[in-house]
Amino acid sequence: MIALSLPAVAERPIAIAVHGGAGTIERDSLSSEREAAIRQALESAARAGHELLADGASATDAIIAAIRILEDAPEFNAGRGSVLTSLGQVEMDASIMDGATLDAGAVAGVTRLRHPIEAAHRVMTDSPHVMLIGEGAVDFARGFKLEEKDPDWFITDFRRQQLEEIQSREQVRLAYQDSWFSTVGAVALDSKGNLAAGTSTGGMANKRWGRVGDSPIIGAGTYADNRTCAVSATGHGEYFIRHVVAYDICARMAYTARPLAETADEVVNRILKRAGGSGGVIAIDRHGRITMPFNTPGMYRAAIHRDGRLEVGIYGDDNEPAPRPPH
């Protein structure tokens, strides 16, 4: 009998990472119930995206599934639970990018949309544009029957209290800078070898109405390119815009051929930090290697690595990251 040996089909790696924002997150600033809810939501989001990837879905579909869960979780600053503007309203931003085609879509300053990430996706797939803002974006989303909610539905007691607390401080400007950033985002590698990134946020607490941060800006808060990596950022948006953080990480990889973890660490922990910009990123390369550096005390994050290992972290010493190379 002749034994037939079939050529081994190399299994393509899949992996996903999600974040729920970076900031002044310290152990005594979170109740155990809140911490448990946050960890649970991060894990559910990563698992939802990973299940789709395991079924052969695209990286864009996986990150939309993950971000939808985080937009619905009131603990995070996206969708319901978004931070409030100085006028006490919710204005949301979101973006998505497909690393295979470099197609991208974004919405900024939107109200009413339960899942701004879906609107950003529609801008990418169903319009000739990359970014739509305000009422124009909501009107566009309506054409696809994306779910809408009354503006009050988005506002939680926690965010009302947060705004009151910020506005009662003497130095409001400082408070604006050290607020928590609990924007959400996801990056993924699918079984076809495609990368994608997405980010969704209510912006920064007590922001001026009409202010737009980095999250919907392709290159600043979100970027994906199959040749290098996919990045979703969280932090003080003005700095991320000025330093074009997400694109800079990808570009440094392309120009220097250095590993993702090194370039992401350099941008977040050296360039951004030196400039005074606080925050972090989640990033994945085309081999499915994930890195999640931040220069704040904590960053809500979860990943399902290419070996199937689940990682959930909040504080700097959770799942102690590999020591950084000396600079």
Decide if residue 21 touches ligand ASP (CB under 6 A). yes
Neighbours of 219 (CB within 10 A): 20
**What are the catalytic residues?**
183
Residue type, 192: K
Instruction: Provide the minimum distance between the beta carbon of 205 and ligand ASP in the complex, in angstroms, as a whole number.
Output: 9
Decide whether 58 or 182 has the Cβ nearer to ligand ASP: 182
Which residue lies nearer to ligand ASP by CB, 200 or 263? 200
Between CA 211 and CA 58 the distance in angstroms is: 32
How far is residue 131's CA from residue 109's CA, in Å, rounded to a whole number?
A: 11
Write down the least CB distance from residue 246 to ligand ASP, Å. 11
Residue with tokens 């931040």: 294
Orientation of helix 116-126 relative to helix 134-142, angle to 10°:
80
Sites for ligand ASP among residues 56-85 (CB under 6 A): 77
Q: Residue 259 corresponds to which tokens in the numbers above?
A: 């590993």
Contacts with ligand ASP, 136-175, as mask; x by CB under 6 A: ----------------------------------------
How far apart are the C-alpha atoms of 203 and 221, rounded to whole Å? 11
Based on CB atoms, which residue is closest to ligand ASP, 93 or 190? Answer: 93
Report how far residue 302's alpha carbon sits from residue 267's, in angstroms, rounded to the nearest whole number: 21
Tell me which stretch binds ligand ASP (CB under 6 A): 25-33, 213-221, 222-230, 308-316.
Answer: 213-221
Q: Does 278 bind ligand ASP (CB under 6 A)?
A: no
203, 219, 293, 313: which one binds ligand ASP (CB under 6 A): 203
Site for ligand ASP in 217-256 (CB under 6 A): 221, 234-235, 237
Q: Give the SS3 label for residue 94.
A: strand
Could you tell me which stretch among 190-198, 211-219, 245-253, 281-289 binds ligand ASP (CB under 6 A)?
211-219
Q: Tokens representing 130?
A: 């990359």
Query: Segment near ligand ASP (CB under 6 A), from 36-44, 61-69, 176-184, 298-306?
Result: 176-184
Burial of 19 (0-12, 13-18, 19+ CB in 10 A): buried
Q: For residues 140 and 300, which CB has a smaller minimum distance to ligand ASP in the complex?
A: 300
C-alpha span between 46 and 52 (Å, rounded): 10
- Classified as helix, coil or strand, 166 is helix
Task: Report how far residue 279's alpha carbon sits from residue 298's, in angstroms, rounded to the nearest whole number.
Answer: 9
Binding ligand ASP (rule: CB under 6 A), the pick from 206, 215, 278, 296 is 215
- The CA–CA distances, whole Å, from 102 to 26, 78, 117, 309 equal 37, 24, 17, 29
Query: Which residue's structure tokens are 């006028």?
Result: 87
- Kindly indicate which of the ranges 41-49, 212-220, 265-273, 290-298 contains the residues binding ligand ASP, using the contact rule CB under 6 A: 212-220
**Is the Cβ of residue 105 or residue 235 nearer to ligand ASP in the bound state?**
235
Instruction: Give the residue carrying structure tokens 């319901």.
Output: 80
Of the candidate spans 169-177, 199-207, 224-232, 282-290, the one that interacts with ligand ASP by CB under 6 A turns out to be 199-207
- CA atoms of 182 and 254, how far apart (whole Å): 30
Q: Is 206 in the site for ligand ASP (CB under 6 A)?
A: no
Query: From the CB of 21, what's the least distance to ligand ASP, in Å?
Result: 5
Sites of contact with ligand ASP (CB under 6 A): 21, 77, 181-183, 201, 203-204, 213-215, 221, 234-235, 237
